[in-house]
Amino acid sequence: MKLSVAIAVLVSAAAEAHYTFPSVANSADWQYVRTTANFQSNGPVTNVQSEDIRCYQRTPGTGAPNVLNVTAGTGLPYNAKASISHPGPMAFYIAKVPAGESAATFDGKGKVWSKIYQDHPSIAAGMTWPSQGAKSVTVQIPKCLANGEYLLRAEHIGLHSAGSSGGAQFYISCAQISVSGGSGTYSPKNVVSFPGAYSATDPGIMINIYYPVPKSYTPPGPAVESC
């Protein structure tokens, strides 16, 4: 009995150390964000070749109930629950919904994703990450996007156990947005697919962030696009 209670406590503590990205702006959880497979467990994706690395959906093929209207050139808060508790980089990718589909039906497959945000650590005696401890991270929606519907993919990589292949923890979700007010000149130089964008041994994924302290950090994936 005591052993089972101890195990339950440990499992609960592990879940509390993890997190999800269930909402944007001031919305309810999973209103504009597709429900992820970890909506109860908070557990991460660890296999970069898995289909889960795209949007980590609980039910692939099922979109969120609604699409959020956003204005190009404005900031959109993407919220963590409870907070981003692990050290590591935060990135956002965006994919235009093709003609004939909607943000609720688009599966995001293929080379359709471009990076629009990437943070970097400060490095001194150790590595300090801008997003660690944050309850929300604001991403700027590029002012040069074409008007229309998109998937916005939030990704935080927990690097606290990333010293060996498969140790990095990916916390992911995809929001459904409709952009207006854009100039339509966005022309990304690099588009990637998920899976496909990352390898388990990329230097920004398999890395010991503690000792010796790295002198630099290279995030996985393409460079951030600009207008």
Q: What is the pLDDT of residues 36-55, one digit of tens each?
A: 999 999 999 999 999 999 99
Cα-Cα end-to-end distance for the chain: 60
Q: Are 148 and 101 spatial neighbours (Cβ–Cβ below 8 Å)?
A: no
78: confidence class by pLDDT, cuts 50, 70, 90: very high
Q: What is the DSSP letter of 95?
A: E
pLDDT band at 171 (very low <50, low <70, confident <90, very high): very high
Residues with Cβ < 8 Å from 20, sequence gap 6 or more? 36, 38, 39, 42, 80, 81, 171, 173
Amino acid at 78: Y
Kindly state the percentage of the chain with pLDDT values over 70.
93
pTM over 0.75, yes/no: yes
pLDDT band for position 61 (50/70/90)?
confident
Q: What is the overall mean pLDDT for the chain? A: 93
pLDDT given at position 146: 98
- Look at residues 60, 68, 53, 56 and name the one whose alpha carbon lies nearest to residue 23: 68
List C-alpha distances in Å: 94 to 2, 135, 192.
Answer: 48, 21, 10
Nearest to 93 by CA among 75, 108, 71: 108
User: Does residue 177 contact residue 193 with C-beta atoms inside 8 Å?
Assistant: no
